[in-house]
Amino acid sequence: MPQSNATTAPQIIDHFVAPKCKSNIDILYQDRDILLINKPSGLLSLSGKNPLNWDSVHYRLVNGQTAMEDNNQKTTPAFTEAKLPHRLDLGTSGIMVVGLNQEASKSLNKQFQMRAVQKRYIAMLSGWVSNDSGQISAPIAKDKALFPRVKICFDTGKSAISEYQVIQRLDNPARTLVQFTPITGRTHQLRIHSLEFGHPIIGCDLYNDSKLEHRLEPNNERQQVNQRLMLHASDLYFTHPTTGEAMHGRSPNPFT
């Protein structure tokens, strides 16, 4: 048999296994067509390719959610047709909208694709942000050498814009609570933009906050400030897929 000279791209094997998430999904709103939920930090939005990463928001919604390992009583029912029109990263907590039937999911998917949904986030950043508000504009591209990271690249990157508003500046160590409004929706946009303008999100493992780490005391202070990715999806503005009503989903700030 003749040998082919064609080459194939190297296969990316997912060896990452997410730590067990012991926090529950909270249902904030429910009707016949949608759910508004609060996703805990440390839970995947969708089950991963690695079979050990089966636990996720989608899995719990479709199969029902139990309170504890040794308790089979469901704390939420099974929403067998639940679909996620958007995702949050593993470490990000906060508001998500869920479609409960085919028509609702189709409408929600279209709204996200058309950028008709407005999202806001709360983040704790390293250091004191000098301006009270501003805009970060820096194009984002995949970093093929450091998957799954992205990078700022003015040659091949796609346009990415994030607006911010300072909520509070804190001491010991110096850090800033901000509200982010992403104008575009690139992968890891808020993480890489925060790093780009010199104030990385505290607790970010992919886009390092090593400057903050050096300023923290070795034990308690580091544990209190840096125990999770301090990024939270606080607000979601969209149109109800059935009634046409303007909806505002809100999840309270967990960092105060």
Give the per-residue pLDDT at 76.
Answer: 87
Of 89, 171, 209, 235, the active-site residue reads 89
* Cα 214 from Cα 217, distance rounded (Å): 8
Give the per-residue pLDDT at 112.
Answer: 96
Q: Over the stretch 127-140, which tens digit does the pLDDT of each residue have?
A: 999 999 999 999 99
Q: Who's near 244: CB < 8 A, 6+ residues apart?
A: none
Enumerate residue ranges in the chain where pLDDT < 50: 1-2, 4, 6-7, 9-10, 70, 214-224
For residues 243 and 230, the answer to whether their CB atoms sit within 8 Å is no
In Å, how far from its chain's centre is CA 14? 19
Q: Over the stretch 216-253, which tens digit does the pLDDT of each residue have?
A: 444 444 444 557 999 999 999 999 999 999 999 999 99
Question: What average pLDDT does the structure give for the chain?
Answer: 88
Give the per-residue pLDDT at 221.
Answer: 42
> What does CATH list as the number for 26-215+226-250?
3.30.2350.10
- Per-residue exposure over 219-232, b if at least 16 CB sit within 10 Å of its own CB, e if not: eeeeeebbebbbbb
Annotated active-site residue 89? The verdict is yes
Distances (CA, A) of 138 to 58, 114, 129, 163, 237: 32, 22, 18, 12, 25
* Cα 233 from Cα 96, distance rounded (Å): 8
